[in-house]
Amino acid sequence: MEKQALPASSLILEDKVSHLSNGAATYPLPAANGSLVPLAVSGGGAAGAGQDKTVTVGVANGAGPGYQERETWTRQMDFIMSCVGFAVGLGNVWRFPYLCYKNGGGVFLIPYLLIVFVGGIPIFFLEIALGQFMKAGSINVWNIAPLFKGLGFASMVIVFFCNTYYIMVLAWGFYYLIKSFSSTLPWSSCDNEWNTPSCIEIFHHQDCKNASLANTTVGNSNMTCADLADARSPIIEFWENKVLNISSGLDEPGKLNWELMLCLVAVWVLVYFCVWKGVKSTGKIVYFTATFPYVVLIILLVRGVTLPGAYDGIMYYIKPDWSKLEEAQVWIDAGTQIFFSYAIGLGALTALGSYNRFNNDCYKDAFVLALINSGTSFFAGFVVFSILGFMAAEQGVDISQVAESGPGLAFIAYPKAVSLMPVAPLWAALFFFMLLLLGLDSQFVGVEGFVTGILDLIPGKHYHRYKREIAVAICCLLCFIIDLSMVTQGGMYVFQLFDYYSASGMTLLWQAFWECIVVAWVYGADRFMDDVARMIGYRPFPWMKWCWSFITPCVCIGIFLFHLVNYKPLTYNTEYVYPWWGEVIGWCLALSSMLCIPTTILYKLFRARGTFRERWAHLTTPVWGAHHLEYMAPDVKSLSPLSPGTDDNKVIIFESVM
């Protein structure tokens, strides 16, 4: 690819040129051929004082002190598989199918696909392209407009919270997987120590349709129809009494569940050894963790469609209800689901993109990954509803009574369904193994994104052979310590607090809105399109620019305001209402990321010098990395070898606003 010159007044080097005082300084940067040359900076005056400085480059005979080149993927397919592993997760299997059936079946695809093209793909592409262009993680990538570096800190806070609570789902899945290796599934009967007298294995709802039979005994049990209203399934009792051993509220943490804690330790150890060596090892592991769930989904679909009631379940899933398009909630659900399932605003996509080759075609990758993500969501619906249709037929109830989303589907509805199948332990083990893999690659890519952001903050001169391994260990240990609060009897209440507030729809929408504003209006949409063209060799369709500038920010802020206006206090099982101090903790979790952006803007503006216009101009000037000079600077190979010490030998390459 031909190397092109940056516009004048656009260059500030990463090595703190923006903080120069009077006098001269030299900084290493690469020549077009990859060797390093010293950068000489001369001139006086403080930044923001309105004086121009001339940044000059001389080509030395010897190489200066080098900079460590960023690690890259061994193959481009490693990047694709890592993105698939991260973005295609539990939400595709347990949230999308439920939203689809709830919001009008096949009709839901209309608002879903519309928002994919006006919100999902543009921001998905923006984050990957930003990482690839800046060759940096979620914090340093905002050197493209340093005033808004708070966006990077916000995404780090969000992904840290996600890493902390998301792994609990894997711990529960691992626990269920272990319990599946038994001749009789422990959640299929009422003969266990954790069951109560209200436990009943089969609900004979059809015997109680006549209200006059309230005192009639149903089935082979001693329960009357009146008692049936308070009866509990063995799977619910296994979940609440055995797995969670749940207390009465957030104010009663209770004791640790040692079995669950050991599962948590095992999963964290697995994550650590998947991440500790960086993308070279992670890129290999995702070939299995990202593809094998598709094998299991196909096996479960083949099994599901052969069960009685499967057809009714699938028709319930896709049957269109056109009247739903008039409801605002349907459009909001579509938008929120896309932001969740595309993993937007977490900074991990940026980190993955930063390991790409500079000229990788990330535009094409974004569309391929979007197709895989949304296609998986739709396909998983057939798997889930074929099983739920069978479950409804077995119990003699409507499918709406067994359809659930989230943990309710994974740990209650589906385990109940497989317990009704022949060779139940096999299907249970397959399902929970798939669940574990779906969550595992999302988890370790999330940890990778967080660690990448942290390591990018450490200057290259502080090199340590095992700094990545140490950083990953500290991250995992810190998250594990917080997770201990979630393996207590009150742990489910803590988990819901994190899930509802820390990485909620509002925080992700807030993040996505500011990403679009900064790139389109501060840095410049046309300017960034030019940068993308330098990387991939052609300009993307102008639709991307229009979305970043107008459509996507409007979609984000619209859904954000809808969430805010229709806010409802958090509850557990629609019965337990969280205390006021619990809600305060939740809002603190949400605001801890959202306030990073305005706080950082105000802090940087306050600390800068000069008039407001001078401060703004200085703080929105990009801080380029060394690789930008290699790929984008004029070719300096033709310059004669010079001695860097004399003014006569200085060659003006760029002029900066300083």
d(CA 114, CA 628): 36
The phi-psi region of residue 463 (left if phi > 0; otherwise alpha if psi is between -120 and 50; otherwise beta) is beta
User: Does 341 carry a binding-site annotation?
Assistant: yes
**b/e code 200-216 from CB counts within 10 Å (16+ = b):** bbebbeeebeeeeeeee
d(CA 398, CA 432): 26
User: Does 351 carry a binding-site annotation?
Assistant: no
CA distances from 469 to 81, 273, 474 (A): 23, 9, 9
**Helix residue spans in 458-540 (DSSP H):** 467-483, 491-497, 505-517, 525-536
User: Does 262 carry a binding-site annotation?
Assistant: no
User: Does 442 carry a binding-site annotation?
Assistant: yes
Residue 312 sits at φ, ψ, to 5 deg, of -60, -40
d(CA 410, CA 166): 14
Instruction: Enter the tokens of residue 171.
Output: 């711990």
**Helix/strand/coil (H/E/C) assignment for every residue in 132-179:** HHHCCCCCHHHHHCHHHCHHHHHHHHHHHHHHHHHHHHHHHHHHHHHH
Name every residue whose Cβ is closer than 8 Å to that of residue 581 and which is 6 or more positions away in sequence.
none
d(CA 240, CA 22): 67
Residue reference for tokens 């269920």: 176
Q: Is 465 helix (H, G, I), strand (E, B) or coil?
A: coil
User: Does 377 carry a binding-site annotation?
Assistant: no
User: Does 92 carry a binding-site annotation?
Assistant: yes
Contact 508, 499 (CB under 8 A): no
User: Does 88 carry a binding-site annotation?
Assistant: yes
Q: Which one-letter amino acid corresponds to residue 630? A: E
Please tell me what DSSP assigns to residue 400. G
User: Does 210 carry a binding-site annotation?
Assistant: no
User: Does 173 carry a binding-site annotation?
Assistant: no
**DSSP letter for each residue of 53-85:** EEEEE--BSS--S--PPPP--SSHHHHHHHHHH
Q: Which residues does the annotation place in the binding site?
A: 85, 87-88, 92, 341, 373, 438, 441-442
Q: Which residues does the annotation place in the binding site for Na(+)?
A: 85, 87-88, 92, 341, 373, 438, 441-442
